Amino acid sequence: MYRPIQIDRENLTIMGVSFPDLATLNNTASAIGSNMYEGFEPSVSHITLIRDYVMNKITFGQFVEVAKNTIYA
């Protein structure tokens, strides 16, 4: 079931996770939103992980590894 998430464009946060600029926030919100229609229910740690990937702080391989470790932990 789709549940809206808290996006604060004025303070540049999604579910309390801060973003450096509006473009990064919007790109992350778009990626999360499209997956939510498929049943994805994001947590704060998901938001942080996706933000770090969008900002090139982690590689795609690191993203996948963290996701696998979270799912199969």
pLDDT tens digits for range 19-36: 999 999 999 999 898 889
Q: Is the pLDDT at 73 greater than 80, yes or no?
A: no
Residue written as tokens 């919007």? Answer: 26
- Residue 24's domain comprises 7-71
Count of domains for the chain: 1
Residue 1: inside a domain: no
Determine the distance from the C-alpha atom of residue 21 to the mean position of all C-alpha atoms in its chain, rounded to a whole number: 14
Residue 53: inside a domain: yes
45-70: average pLDDT? 92
Residue 29: inside a domain: yes
**Cα–Cα dist 18/20, whole Å:** 7
Asked whether the beta carbons of 32 and 66 are under 8 A apart, the reply is: no
Residue 14: inside a domain: yes
Helices assigned H by DSSP within 6-55: 22-36, 44-54
Residue 16: inside a domain: yes
63-73: average pLDDT? 83
Residue 2: inside a domain: no
The arrangement of strands across the sheet holding 7-8 comes to 7-8, 13-14, 17-18
